[in-house]
Structure 1
Amino acid sequence: MIARMSTRRRAREIVLQLLYEADLNDWRDAATSRKFIRSRLQGRKVLTDFAAELLDGTMARRDDIDAKLTKLSTNWALHRMPVTDRNVLRLGAYEILYSGTPGQVAISEALTLAKRYGGENSPRFINGVLDRLFKYHSNPESVSS
């Protein structure tokens, strides 16, 4: 279990928890969020920094990410999506658009989160939206408006 706790996947799970919380409640201040991340990742600096970057980046660009997700999530208003799905999408979108994570890795990691924390149809839905986002980001002319 300790080895699993040291993975980037665990960092993403923690970020998802914080995004979920921020979606439903007032946003924690950065210092409190970092303390939570550090405690959950047992003080591992590289993972703590990775998680903090994902959280801070996703929150800072949330409006832009939400606009892109709204455009690409056919027949689903963002506010009507399950909270978990919405935040898995936000995290995956941040990784695709703004981080150094390869797009296919970001999608795969988002699907893992969706399978673990989402509903029965979450993985298929999230895969579809993030795949469209990745294709659009890679080649904006590949996805029709």
Structure 2
Amino acid sequence: MFKCRIVNIIRKRPGNAVPVSRSFNVQSNSQITVPFRGPGRSRITSERACKGDPGAPINLADPNPRKKKAPEKCIGMQQTSSGGITLVNKCKACKAALIERQNRTGGNGKRHAYKVAPQSAIEVLSKGAAQIALLAEVDCP
């Protein structure tokens, strides 16, 4: 029994030289009403399994797809014993980090970029901000 099928239908109307092709996803044990009205002929041109179902077409460019891992986060924020914030680089490569300082209401966001050496930490001054957020990290320029 199939879970889902992709059905291609061609509709040819009298007097119109160009046929209309439509593709529909049909779930198992369901019916679908096609939106073709008036005179003409409809024809099913292909029927195949939906992506991920048994019998689905194989991607020839990547026949064994692997889930891509999210890029490893190198930069992290840690609170110091004095209440300050440090940016810590856990990787063996230099990274640039973008932070944003905000006031108590979340407004007045000021951004600043820091260059963090491999496997080291630098202190981030609050400069009167109530919150500090790490926005992004990239390789050092």
> Is TM-score (shorter-chain normalized) higher than 0.5?
no
Q: TM-score range by the shorter chain?
A: under 0.3
More helix by share: 1
More strand by share: 2
Q: What TM-score, normalized by structure 1, do the two folds share?
A: 0.23
Higher relative contact order (CA 8 A, sep 6+): 1
Q: What TM-score, normalized by structure 2, do the two folds share?
A: 0.23
